[in-house]
Structure 1
Amino acid sequence: MRIHQGAMDTTEQGRSMMKELNRSVWRLNIPGLHFAIAFATTLVGSLILSAISPNAQTESSIAASPPQPIPQHPTSAIVDKIQAELQQALQEIYSQPPQSQTLTPTQEIYRNQLLENLFTWPSPPPLATAQTRRTARRSDAGSDTSATVQDWTPILNAATQLQYSQVPQPENLPGAFSVPDTSTLQLEGTILTLNDVVLLAVENNREIKNAYLERVVQRQDLAVAEDKFNPNFIPRLALNVSRNENGQLFTSLGGLDVGTTISSRMPTGATIELSWLMNQQLRDSNRNEASNQGELKSDFRIGVRQPLLRGSGISVNRASIESARLTEQINLLNLQSTLSNKVTETILAYRRLMQAQEELKNAQVTLTTTRRLQEITQALIDAGRTARVDLVQSQADVANQELNFLQAQNAVEQARISLLDLLDLDENLPIVATEPILTQTPVLNAEELQQFVYERNPEYRIADLTVNRTQYDLIQANDERRWNLDLDVSYGNNASSLVNENRDLQAGLVFSREFGDLTIEQRYKRSQINALQAENNLQNLRESLNLQVNDRVRNVNLRRTQVEQARQARELAEQNLSNEQIKLGLGRDTSIRDVVAAQNALSQARSREVQTIIEYLNAITDLDRILGTTLETWQITLQTD
């Protein structure tokens, strides 16, 4: 004999729910509560069976007898009676706290939820569905009655949560579960601020040292060029003695020479040379001859050589000096550019170390939470609350996070060694990067920086000076192509104490030209090409700087927006983690994995925030380099002496 399918399903559902409630309730360790809840479940179970069984009939009975009117089922009266007896039985239990054990706040919440659901039963649930409510309507002489099967899900859930809350678990799982915070983690080592790193780079970097050493030679080159029109002074002092013997005859001669030579070049190209020589002759012999003894001679001569074609003119003769001065300015700008580039490179390396440290902290937090999750999973398996296959995934997560942690450690070491190499410090020095948190993110205007970059950018100023220097080089190369035509004038005065004074004056033109030397024309063509290329480079650099400034300003403003968005994302992730922890403590629809996932999301949000802040600061540093204000930003004075 088969039972009707709908009736069987409903009956089995009621019996299953009653058994599950009894099984859950009797696992509770609250004195006095067993009897009350068991009494309630017995009565309520009878009500469920009586409410849902009248429709269960066999097919044979239905076939044997014709349909008869079904009498009205007194469900309402039974419900009221059971509810009154249940409330009376639970009132004393609810008003007194358990004495056999002290409940945690989470267990207290679960207990109150269970008792509240028992007190309010059999009020219908807020949303009744086909599975939670069954209404049988009968028609007899114009009357209808309804029998309702109540929803036991809240009672079963409350009892199950209270049961699970008393299962032994590590550190009062789940309510007290927490995960580390990256902001509380500290790395061991010598703490260096960004200002410290910049100063160390300026003082210790070998490339910067070599640039300053090169300045010694560069200053000397400028001094040589500027000394072109300064007179050269050559003093002369000579003392000689000679002795000549011929048998018994001998002659002794002696002399003293005193003189000087002064030469100088004029801006017109003329060369002036002045020489003066005085000689004192002494003689001694066995014949006591005194001829020419003590003779004093004086010789004075001045000569002027003035080019009339090649090498003449102030502009031609001062071209080398002006070119050397421009070269000196270019050398200073190159030194400034070297300093700026090395400072920028050091700053970027420092921030790479900061980012690697933050990644290491996040990896450490993730590894800690993953290991904690594995311990919890093992405890849940031991308590029989989860399947053993879940442990495999936890072990795989731990292995992956250990690998990520090792990779993060390696990244920190690489960034640290790279920074120490720039600072020229011992590679075994354990340094830790730390930088103040970003507080302000100003908005930049590209138009205001366009003209400023032409005045401060080292590369643009070098290109501008190079154009001017090539013009002086072209003047000198063009002068070498001209003929030589020089005017020579000299005047001499010879005087002696024994003879009369002798004077002479000479003047003449010297005309010459070298043929067959192709290097002269080669240097001229090379100077022409250099001048044209320098102008093209200046124009290209000007256009490039316009694009670079616009791009850098756009990048800075974009990074600033990303910093604000990343900060909001991190705050929301913190709020989400707090919400998940509160939900877990209250026993709501969440799990430990949800808390761990929220913590991992927070770690990623913090990592993204640090990354966006570093990218924003790097964008500002790069903009400083383009504008030529890096040294001013870090208060570095360029040593020119």
Structure 2
Amino acid sequence: MTTTLCRLSSVLLATALLTSHALAQNEAPKEVVPTTVPGSTATPEASTPELTLEQCIQRALARNFDLEIGRFNPLIAKDAIDVARGGYEPVLTSSGVHGKTTSRVAGTSSTVSDLRIGVSQDLYTGTTVSASSSLDRSKLNPLLLQNPNPAYDADVTLSVRQSLLRGFGTAVNRANLNRAKIGLDRANLDYKATALDIIQATEFAYFDLTFAREQLKVRQFSLELANTLFDEAKSRESVGTAIQLDVLQSEVGVANARRNLILAEQSVKDRQDALLALIGQFELDAPVGTVRFAETPTTLPVFASSLNLAKQNQPDYLSSIAAIEQLKLDLRIAKDNVKPDLTVGGAVGLGSSDTNTGRGAIGNALDRDRHSWQVDFAFSYPLGNVSNRARYRQSLSTLSREEIRLRLIEQNIEVQVRAAVRSVETNLESVRIAALASQLSQRQYEAEKSRFEAGRSTSRIVLEAQDDLEINRVSELQAQAALHSAIAALHRIEGSSLQRYSITLP
């Protein structure tokens, strides 16, 4: 503390001497202004254009690794819908066989060829429809007069099978497809949540860099004052108006100011890298233009409006609701599996034979040369049905658990919105108070400086005023950064960042 007081006292003395010298020559007193130290990153080069927050967000949404990875999830979920539809697509089947049987005892041989083509489809009602046609050719050697040789048999068959208990109705059979569609909605919501997180992280990084650069300017100004104090101390020592201890204290003050400047430069570079990592890929050496805080809002957020926006737009909340809808579908399937499996079916067929060609056999079959029909049923039920009943209870418990968790999420959202609104209100008031404190400390410093120049104050008092001025300047910057971060956090909870920046996700 003693070193700091001595340093600031010497600065004031140097300022007073400069002022007196200027007045003696009828010149305006020269103010000590901050300048950029060589190698400093306080201010970007003049050729570098300004980098706005909107530009950063656009670049982040286009080049960020996390968002680029997240783009695949909706594509995967979209293909899952086609996978779910696959079980209800028409299936074309074809089979063929050719064989020969020889009997050494009878001295005969027979050749048989069979070709069958069919198509079947499962419907969402639990119905299976199929149609098939076959052509058989048989030949016996040697020829037996009582059998045509060769012989052709053809048939056309249409069959229908319907589930009456398990798997009956569109609600059950479309459950997997509907689940996949909800999965696509959830994937899009998760992608939106990732985008909102990246927007918030970009806003935080942008405001952190803005604060770091503004703080660096304050450190540069302090170094300028420390150098001026050191030069003045050496001059006063040479004329005998100061002792060597004053020079040493001034030199320590320069070293401390330079250390603070180096730390501030490191902070700027670290926060610049953090911003570049969010808005680009392997572009850490890219220049970053001028950054600045946004205008301070003049209106306070309204809790009811923010809560309504959060429930309408919050991806995590909407995804939880969609997850419950998926669990309801799972419960419906589990409940259906508890039922016995009972199906009934029926088939009608037309057939014919011909001794000349297969085409003739098929033609005769279509002319109803021979016809047939059948009905059948199948029933199965596991005794006890323990596993299916257990799966149903599991689905029911899982659904109940997630419904309670949704209520917890609703309460957490309300708590988060309340805290975010209060944070904006508090930080807005903090900015106003910090600005007043900075203005007051500026006036106090100027007043004490004028009193010191008139010989009515001491260097220690002026030094304390200088210390308060620097502290309040940094506090004002911190308050501004905290306010903008609080606003960004509120927008993330509301899920409204995309609308505020007019962003449409693919």
Distance 1:577 1:181 in 2: 21
Alignment-derived partner of residue 507 in structure 1: 375
- Output the CA distance in 2 between the equivalents of 1:564 and 1:573: 14
Secondary structure of 1:334's aligned partner: helix
Alpha-carbon contact 1:261-1:276 (below 8 Å) kept = no
**Residue 107 of structure 2 corresponds to residue 215 of structure 1:** no
Partner in structure 2 of residue 129 of structure 1: none
List runs of 5+ in structure 1 lacking aligned partners: 1-102, 110-171, 245-250
Shift of 1:583: 5.2
Q: CA distance change for structure 1 residues 342 and 523 in 2, over 3 Å: closer, same or farther? A: farther
Equivalent residues in 2 for 1:55-454 (5 A)?
106-107=23-24, 175-176=29-30, 178-180=32-34, 186-188=43-45, 192-226=51-85, 228=87, 230-234=88-92, 236=94, 259-267=117-125, 269-277=126-134, 298-422=154-278, 423-432=280-289, 434-454=291-311
AA aligned opposite 1:614: A
Following the alignment from structure 1 to structure 2, what is the Cα–Cα distance between the partners of residues 108 and 192? 45
Higher RCO by CA contacts (8 Å cutoff, separation 6 or greater)? 2
Kindly indicate whether residue 329 of structure 2 is the aligned counterpart of residue 461 of structure 1: no
Correspondence for 1:525 among 393, 397, 411:
393
2:329 corresponds to = 472
| Matched-pair contact (CA < 8 Å) for 2:273–2:284 | yes
Aligned-partner SS, 2:456? coil
Distance apart, 1:553 and its partner CA: 0.9
Q: Is residue 44–residue 290 contact of structure 2 (8 Å, CA) maintained in 1?
A: no
- Corresponding residue for 2:350? 493
User: The residue matched to 2:299 in structure 1 has which SS?
Assistant: coil
Inter-partner Cα distance in structure 2 for 1:398 and 1:404: 10
Contact 1:311 1:479 in 2 (8 A): yes
Distance apart, 1:534 and its partner CA: 1.0
In structure 2, how many angstroms separate the alpha carbons of the residues matched to 1:392 and 1:519?
Answer: 86
Shift in alpha-carbon separation, 1:520–1:421, aligned structure 2, 3 A: farther
Aligned residues: 464
RMSD value, Cα: 3.9
Question: Distance in 2 between the 1:405 and 1:108 partners?
Answer: 35
Q: Is the 8 A contact 1:369 1:596 kept in 2?
A: no
- 1:632 is displaced (CA, Å) by 1.3
Give the structure 1 partner of residue 480 of structure 2.
613
SS of the equivalent of 2:437 reads helix
Distance 1:465 1:276, change over 3 A: same
Cα shift readout 1:296-316 (whole Å, capped 9, x = no counterpart): 754322222211222123322
Q: Deviations over 1:35-79 (max 9, x none)?
A: xxxxxxxxxxxxxxxxxxxxxxxxxxxxxxxxxxxxxxxxxxxxx
Between 485-494 and 416-425, the greater mean CA deviation after superposition? 416-425
Alpha carbons of 1:413 and 1:425: their partners in 2 closer, same or farther (altered >3 Å)?
same
1:549 matches 2:417: yes
Superposed CA deviations along residues 229-262 of structure 1, whole A, max 9, x for unmatched, are: x5414265989999x9xxxxxx9x9989684413
Given that 1:362 and 1:604 are in contact with CA atoms closer than 8 Å, whether structure 2 keeps it comes out as no
The one-letter code of the counterpart of 1:631 is: L
Q: Secondary structure at the match of 2:84?
A: helix
Inter-partner Cα distance in structure 1 for 2:455 and 2:488: 49
TM-score, length-scaled by structure 2: 0.79
Alignment of 1:9-88 (within 5 A): none
Q: Secondary structure at the match of 2:436?
A: helix
Instruction: Classify the secondary structure of the residue corresponding to 1:550.
Output: helix
Q: 1:201 & 1:450 partners in 2: Cα distance?
A: 27
Q: Structure 2: 5+ residue runs without aligned partners?
A: 1-19, 103-108, 356-360
Secondary structure of the corresponding residue to residue 306 of structure 1: strand
Which residue of the partner structure matches residue 435 of structure 2? Answer: 567
Cα pair 1:232 1:263 within 8 Å, conserved: yes
**Do the aligned partners of 2:207 and 2:293 also contact (CA within 8 Å) in 1?**
no
Distance 1:231 1:273 in 2: 12
Whole-angstrom distance in 1 between the partners of 2:499 and 2:167: 44
- % identity of equivalent residues: 23
Distance (Å, rounded) in 2 between the aligned partners of 1:556 and 1:342: 20
Q: CA deviation at 1:605?
A: 2.9
Amino acid at match of 1:265: L
CA distance in 2, matches of 1:629, 1:427: 30
**Matched letter for residue 201 of structure 1:** A
- 1:548 & 1:330 partners in 2: Cα distance? 22
Q: Distance in 2 between matches of 1:494 and 1:306?
A: 25
Contact 1:353 1:433 in 2 (8 A): no
Q: Hey, what's the Cα distance between the residues in 1 that align with 2:384 and 2:289?
A: 68
- Tell me the distance in 2 between the aligned counterparts of 1:409 and 1:432: 16
Deviations 1:142-191 (A, max 9, x none): xxxxxxxxxxxxxxxxxxxxxxxxxxxxxx9x953524279x96234775
- Contact 2:67–2:194, Cα closer than 8 Å, also in 1: yes
Distance (whole Å) between structure 2 residues aligned to residue 571 and residue 440 of structure 1: 20
Measured in 2, the distance between the counterparts of 1:633 and 1:503 equals 72
Is the aligned partner of 1:626 residue 2:493?
A: yes
Contact 2:163 2:344 in 1 (8 A): yes
Structure 1-normalised TM-score? 0.64
Distance 2:221 2:97 in 1: 91
Preserved contact between residue 340 and residue 625 of structure 1 (Cα < 8 Å): yes
Q: Deviations over 1:516-559 (max 9, x none)?
A: 88643443232122101111111111111112111111111111
1:104 positional shift: 5.2
Letter in 2 for 1:387: I
* Counterpart residue identity of residue 340, structure 2: W
Shift in CA distance, 333/265, structure 1 to aligned 2, threshold 3 Å: same
d(CA) in 1 for partners of 2:459 and 2:282? 46
Cα offset, 1:489, TM superposition: 1.6
Could you tell me whether the CA contact under 8 Å between 2:158 and 2:347 is conserved in 1? Answer: yes
Q: Contact 2:43/2:290 (CA < 8 Å) preserved in 1?
A: no
Whole-angstrom distance in 1 between the partners of 2:29 and 2:233: 15
Q: Given that residues 338 and 385 in structure 2 are in contact (C-alpha distance below 8 angstroms), is that contact kept between their aligned partners in structure 1?
A: no
CA distance in 2, matches of 1:507, 1:369: 103
Q: CA deviation at 1:219?
A: 0.2
Determine the structure 1 residue equivalent to 2:105. none
Q: Alpha carbons of 1:255 and 1:435: their partners in 2 closer, same or farther (altered >3 Å)?
A: farther
Give me the whole-angstrom Cα distance separating, in 2, the residues matched to 1:302 and 1:410. Answer: 80
1:297–1:496 CA contact under 8 A, matched in 2: yes
- Cα separation, 1, equivalents of 2:414 and 2:30: 58
Superposed displacement of residue 369, structure 1: 1.4
Distance 1:336 1:304 in 2: 46
Work out which of the residue numbers 520, 537, 548 in structure 1 matches 2:405: 537
Q: Measure how far apart 1:504 and its partner are.
A: 2.0
